Amino acid sequence: MAAVQNLDQHPWQDDPRHNDPAGQTGEKMMDYRVTFHTGDLAFAWMVGYVEVNLVGTDGESGPHQLSKWVPSYLRGVSTFNVSCSQNIGQLVLIKIRKTFSLPRVGWFLAKMEVKSPIGVVFNFPVYQWITDSEEHIYREGKALLAADETTEQAKEARVRELDERRTDYSWKEYKKGTPHCIRADTVRDLPLDEHFSDTKQAEFAYNLVNGLVKLGLTDIAECKNSWTNIHDMERLHNCHRTKIGDYVCEHWKDDAFFGYQFLNGINPMLIKRCRDLPHNFPVTDQMVFQDPQFTLDDELKKGNLFLCDYKVLDGVPANIINGQPQYLMAPLVLLHRTPDDKLMPIAIQLKQAEAWDNPIFTPADSMYDWLLAKIFVRSADFNLHELNAHLLRTHLLAEVFTVSLLRNLPKVHPLYKLLIPHTRYTLHINILARNNLISENGVFTKYAASGGEGMLIILQRSLSSLTYRSLCIHDDMEDRGLEDVPGFYYREDGQKLWDIIHRFQQLFVEDILRFYYKTDARMHEDTELQSWIGDIYEHGFLSNEATGIPEKFSTVDDLVKFVTMVLFTCSAQHSAVNTGQFDYDGWMPNTPSTLKQPPPTTKGTTTEADILETFPEMGTTVMNMTTLWLLSTQSTDTASGKLESIPAIIGREAGTPGQVASPGAVHAPDRYFGEYPEDHFTEDRPCQLIKKFQAEIKKFTEEVNTRNEGLEVPYTYLDPQVFANSVSI
Ligand code: FE2
């Protein structure tokens, strides 16, 4: 038997004589002080009756209502006494039931602490909305594998938790040949725990409304006029500027900048060292080298030639926008590393098959021929980047990792504790992406060259050719032969971050996992863990052995590497391909989402007017730019994010500057990389490791900032002060 008292509301009840029925018989009562931490979220508080049952290794308190007569008001920190007639030993779990509350959405219970009669504190991480009057069970914070469970109640709780989760989170095939996703058509179908906070939701919606409706961009989306001069585009550019965006606007025609973007733009995932020229790309010395000191053979041997091959786009049907056919090429680009370490494009072939009407363009051609060839490459890059590097390789994979985590690992599992912060908001943002970007009427579907049928083909081809090694930045750089390319900041920063996450000085993922998996055998017997990777293999990579994704883990080393990849993909890699979208693609001529004239089939005929006519319509340009702005925006912490309407822009003097946001610092993420405000881990060792991890991240940020001070174009997308823990935008 036990009695409960709310110490905040009724301090007089601290006197055990008031609620210690056992005291009347002279028995000594054992008081457990239970502290509830209600989350600091909008509408997280609760007024009502709550029943708790403390379960320990030597017994349980039995169900007790926190207050009998007056409803409890739970907000911030609230402490109650639960008196038991016996010591119930080490606490294992708490059962909670909200028996009655005012009709509201729910109660966000962040965590609980229980102080035993002898002063031992037990922590119970929750971080969950309680919306019903069912019993909920929360485990003590010490991470445990299933094999470590010692009580039947704990074992049953573990099974029950996963059964419930598998009901709430199930798989669905989105489209054939693409990673499976959460079975939820709209955000409302998602459990409340996965929703954006009210603030983020309101601000996100506000941006969308602000950008697309209130400023009249819906009407502009229907503006079918072609651009007639570059100055109108500059006026549009002025409506929202960033420092890098300004640089792009100034240098988009430069060959050196064209080459630079393959390394440090937002799609550093395609370029590779060229060892042999592809048979379908018959470049000759005479075409590309005016200087006799260079030959293709020599430069190939020296490793100075690089290739970007968009063959995955070959034969992909292009979109039709406003009744006009669009054009999406599958180019081949040859780049030469010059003695002064510039990466210069030296040949472009816009279609894969060698043919008389498929010329190889070089810088020796007319200015407009060469510029238009580069524009077609940049447009192809936009489409491949958004669908493969961004959507598939970060958003969709992050969703697979998330759903598998939620279905297979209970909250008390160490891997759940390690990865759950890196899944924040991913399901919500992906539903928005499926419904608003790539749906039938989605912005991408309507305004990108690959929108529609082509989109699915690109996703299917990209997934079937994706490899595990390409998701691990060290392996990826080795496979693409890019280990020693100077000035490749994506590689430099990405590899350092990978090492910090992985095992820098035996830290973080390596140490945390080895703390729980002392031997490979312990990992083999962890069926929850093996189900987690099994689901990823089946639902994410469609059981394609050729990807190299493990179907199960054999060694702890395998596990450590895979978990590092998951954490890196959900945070750093997403930032590398997401954060700079507005910087690099906001200035449309640098990266047109689509092109509405076919490429030239002969040389020497292209004019400036042809290029303007090839660019997307004004409406398409504006809609795409608005979307990129939104997708580069982590939250509304912005002074300059407001877009102006096109009439206002066009009506303004070209030179009128808009505000310029600092590179990579346009908006603050919800939670910076490495920030863990939720105490999922409660043991000393993982908490110490997290602190060391955060210290390493801070040091790395300082290094990046110092390096960037000396760069003409700073590379900020892998600065941990720029990106979030998870795919949330
Ligand atoms: Fe994104």
Q: How far is the CA of 133 from the centre of ligand 1 (A)?
A: 37
* Average of per-residue pLDDT across 199-205: 57
What are the domain boundaries of the chain? 4-141, 198-708
Could you tell me the distance, in angstroms and rounded to a whole number, from the CA of residue 712 to the centre of ligand 1? 26
Q: How many whole angstroms from 62 Cα to the centroid of ligand 1? A: 47
Q: How many whole angstroms separate alpha carbon 655 and alpha carbon 644?
A: 15
Give residue-wise pLDDT tens across range 551-565.
Answer: 999 999 999 999 999
CA–centroid distance, residue 425 to ligand 1 (Å): 11
Q: Calculate mean pLDDT across residues 222-247.
A: 87
Q: Average the pLDDT over each of 101-105, 434-438, 689-693, 706-710 and give the range with the smallest value.
A: 101-105
pLDDT at residue 541 in the model: 98
Would you say the pTM of this structure is higher than 0.75?
yes
pLDDT tens readout for residues 311-359: 999 999 999 999 999 999 999 999 999 999 999 999 999 999 999 999 9
Predicted confidence (pLDDT) per residue in 504-533, tens digit: 555 689 899 999 999 999 999 999 999 999
pLDDT tens for 113-151 read: 999 999 999 999 999 999 888 999 999 999 999 999 999
Residue 43, pLDDT > 90, answer: no
Query: pLDDT tens digit string along 9-41?
Result: 433 233 333 333 333 444 578 899 999 999 988
| pLDDT one-digit tens code per residue, 440-469 | 988 899 999 999 999 999 999 999 999 999
Give the pLDDT of residue 203. 52
More confident residue, 500 or 652: 500
In terms of CATH, what superfamily is 4-141?
PLAT/LH2 domain (2.60.60.20)
- Axis crossing angle, helix 367-384 with helix 255-264, rounded to the nearest 10: 10
pLDDT band of residue 438 (cuts 50, 70, 90) is very high
β-strand partners of 699: none
Arithmetic mean of pLDDT, 473-477: 98
State in Å: Cα 570 to ligand 1 middle: 10
Which residue has tokens 């780049």?
Answer: 335
Distance 233 CA to ligand 1 centre (A): 25
Answer whether CATH 1.10.645.10 is correct for domain 198-708: no
Ligand 1 mean position to 390 CA, how many Å?
6
Mean pLDDT calculated for residue range 185-208: 71
Residue 246 is inside which H or E element, if any? helix 243-251
**What's the 633 CA to ligand 1 centre distance in angstroms?**
10
279 neighbors 413 (Cβ within 8 angstroms) = no
Q: How far apart are CA 412 and CA 140, in angstroms?
A: 8
Asked if the model's pLDDT at residue 650 lies above 50, the reply is no
Ligand 1 centroid to Cα of residue 575, in Å, is: 8
Contacts of 538 (CB under 8 A, 6+ apart): none
- With CA atoms as reference, report the closest residue to 362 among 336, 387, 382: 336
Checking if the pLDDT of 105 tops 90, the result is no
Give per-residue pLDDT as tens, 167-185. Answer: 999 999 999 999 999 999 9
pLDDT digits over 278-296, tens only? 999 999 999 999 888 999 9
Residue 658 pLDDT greater than 60, yes or no: no
SS3 720: coil
Average pLDDT, the chain: 88
Of 110 and 73, the one with more pLDDT: 110
CA 76 – ligand 1 centroid, Å: 33
Give CA–CA dist 569/391, Å, rounded: 12
Check for a shared fold between 4-141 and 198-708: no
End-to-end Cα, the chain, rounded Å: 50
Q: Ligand 1 centroid vs 204 CA: distance in angstroms?
A: 14
Structure tokens at 241: 């500027």
User: What is the mean pLDDT of the segment spanning 47-71?
Assistant: 89
Q: Measured in angstroms, how far is the CA atom of residue 574 from the centroid of ligand 1?
A: 6
Report residue 198's pLDDT band, with 50, 70 and 90 as the boundaries: low
